[in-house]
Amino acid sequence: MLLQPSRVARALLAALCLALWPAAPAAAQNAQAATAARGLRADLRDAAGAPKSPKRLVLLRAGGGVEGSRVTISSDSPLDDCDSYVAGESFYVRIPWAVAADARGAGAPGRFYKSARVEEQGDAVLVTFALREGAAVSLVRGFNRIEVTFADGRATPQPTPPAPGGEEAATIREMREQIAALEARVRELEARSAAPTPNAPAAALAETAKAETTKVGADAAPASTDAAAHAAHGAGAQHGEHDAEAAGAPRLQIQGFADVNLRAGNAGGQHTSFALGQLDLFLTSRLSEKFDVLSELIIEANERNQFTFEIHRLLLQYTPNDNLHLGLGRYHTAIGFFNTAYHHGTWFQTTADRPFIFSFEGKGGILPLHNVGLQATGRVPGAPWGMRYVAEVGNGRASRTPLDSPVQTASDENNRKAFNLGLYVRPNSARGLQAGFSVYRDRLTPLGKPGIDQTIGAGHLVFQDGRYESLNEFVLMRLSSGGRVYNTPAFYTQFARQFGNLRPFFRYQYVNVPGDNPLYADVGRRNGPALGIRYDLTDFAAFKAQYEHTSRRRQSALDELILQLAFTF
């Protein structure tokens, strides 16, 4: 049925907020305890984003008990370039080309460590754990996660295993006899192969040993199989076979993101519906110390309930140093802050959806948020405030006609190339603050219409730490054609406050496309507030409830309620 927003949608959101809101004061009073239980929570965004944008990190307390503690350092960029070491009474993890947008939980103790401290040192993040006496530390690297485990390093007496019973002892004797028989058989085979011919390589011996292994008891089989496999590997090496893993061949790593939604609103033709969001498969592979590949594959259902597949990002990246990071392929255009801070995994962002001005092209957005070409970013040598640059050149977006695909992945509609230049700063003296601007230029040639010069200016001022989030962006799109100029201003402001696992948020957005705009007149003016909550169910799953009211020029207002479960896996 069609939901009437002013009553039902608002009532649903009010009931939900009333149900969850009592947790906010208690969470506020216990924020320190909740922080100690979860460690540092951050919005991880920017997966190697523009080629090698600084990694955004999150430090989570994943679990612990009497046996010790485990802390997960996570990012949506690969974390295979970190260093770890022990100095004095502290354990250090250093992650290059990274930022920690959230310092909540710094100083929180854990079992077998006194405190955790996160600090930015130039373009790197250093995580320091002050160890307790007798602590032992182990570190395991994953795709985009590092597991740090703290345990008691002091020797503890192990219980003496009970003597085996009669039946168990008989089984062990039988297995030993089988092993002895196998060893005798192997010695016999070795004697026969003392003078091997070129047509009888050592691999044959390994295969025979493997066959004999199947006759051995279950407990003896793994060891014998490993020995046979080792023999086969040695034989293969002698005969020129190539072991990919030993040679350091690339290994593909995959991280998944997804969301499930319930939407209700009063837009024409809209019905209250459950909906699968995007299934985002984020892939990376390191080719060498300076080369790697990044890809983002999206599977989602369209309005006809049919699944579609699209490669949203695919980049070959080259990183000679911190001053230059190159990427070639399809990327997210660095217009403003949001588009390269939050990619396709809705789990990263506070709200259930993107601000309208940063809606993707396939969702009615008017900005060229995807591009195919070359992208470069890095530090500005000698510049203050942690200044970094962005430079991009590519095909740009196609003119907005029914026959055009918005993203020109395979061919350009003209010979002119789009380019984008930007600067932004992240001062070490104001941790969590970022400010910057960008300018985008392109030439559009819509079918049957005069050419259009497009200029997009964007500026942002952002502050994010463990407790507060403040996002503020302004965009001005200027189209020039036939001596006329069409300006489209847009902005949004978003504020959120963390109370333990609960994060209430508010956003106001505004877009005003002139009625005579040659490309986007149907968008018109859209403005209004959105408010809601995000609740972290676990470290890797979040529930969101959002109500949004949108006023439109010469049209009825839109109201929508979104309930979302977003997660990473």
Comparing 157-161, 282-286, 516-520, 558-562, which segment has the lowest mean pLDDT? 157-161
For 337, what's the count of Cα atoms within 13 Å in the CB-facing half-sphere?
Answer: 24
Give the span between the Cα atoms of 536 and 568, in whole angstroms.
12
d(CA 479, CA 368): 14
pLDDT at residue 537 above 90?
yes
CB-CB contact of 336 with 438 (8 Å): yes
Query: Do the beta carbons of residue 228 and residue 208 sit within 8 Å?
Result: no
Q: Is residue 62 over pLDDT 90?
A: no
Least confident of 52-56, 67-71, 179-183, 461-465: 52-56
Cα 28 from chain centroid? 28
CA distance 35 to 501: 9
Q: What pLDDT is recorded for position 154?
A: 73
The arithmetic mean of pLDDT across residues 26-32, rounded, is 45
DSSP 449: S
Higher-confidence residue of 141 and 246: namely 141
- Assess whether pLDDT exceeds 90 at residue 370: yes
- Place 407 in a pLDDT band, splitting at 50, 70 and 90: confident
> Who has greater pLDDT, 365 or 48?
365
Q: Which of the given ranges, 156-170, 204-218, 301-315, 522-536, has the highest pLDDT on average?
A: 522-536
Q: How far, in Å, CA of 417 to CA of 45, rounded?
A: 28
Report the side by side order of strands in the sheet with 55-65.
98-99, 55-65, 68-75, 145-152, 135-141
Q: Which pLDDT band, with edges at 50, 70 and 90, does 410 fall under? A: confident
Q: 204-218: per-residue pLDDT in tens?
A: 434 444 444 333 333
The pLDDT > 70 percentage for the chain reads: 72
Model confidence band, residue 400 (pLDDT cutoffs 50, 70, 90): low
- Helix H segments across 301-419? 338-341
What pLDDT was estimated at residue 25?
A: 44
Instruction: List, in order of start, the domains of the chain with CATH numbers.
Output: 39-152 (2.60.40.3500), 174-189+207-233 (no CATH), 253-568 (2.40.160.10)
pTM of the model: 0.66
Q: Is pLDDT above 50 for 47?
A: no
**pLDDT grade for 36, boundaries at 50, 70 and 90:** very low
pLDDT top residue among 437 and 82: 437
In b/e form, how buried is each residue of 46-85, taking b as 16+ CB within 10 angstroms?
bbbbbbbbbbbbbbbbbebeeebbbbbbbbbbbbebbeee
Give the pLDDT of residue 79.
78
Residue 159 to residue 177: CA distance in whole angstroms: 29
Measured from the Cβ of residue 401, the count of other Cβ atoms closer than 10 Å reads 12
pLDDT digits (tens, 9 = 90+) for 342-361: 998 899 999 999 999 999 98
pLDDT(63) > 70: no
Rounded percentage of the chain residues whose pLDDT exceeds 90:
41
The confidence score (pLDDT) of residue 446 equals 86
306-315, 320-329, 404-413, 482-491, range with the lowest pLDDT: 404-413
Average pLDDT taken over every residue of the chain: 78
pLDDT exceeds 70 at position 151: yes
Q: Tell me, what's the pLDDT at 232? A: 38
What order do you get walking across the sheet with 113-121 strand by strand?
83-87, 90-95, 124-131, 113-121
pLDDT(245) > 80:
no
pLDDT tens for 92-129 read 998 887 877 655 555 667 778 888 888 877 778 888 88
Res. 76 pLDDT band, cuts 50 70 90: low
User: Tell me, what's the pLDDT at 428?
Assistant: 86
Q: How far apart are CA 294 and CA 248, in angstroms?
A: 18
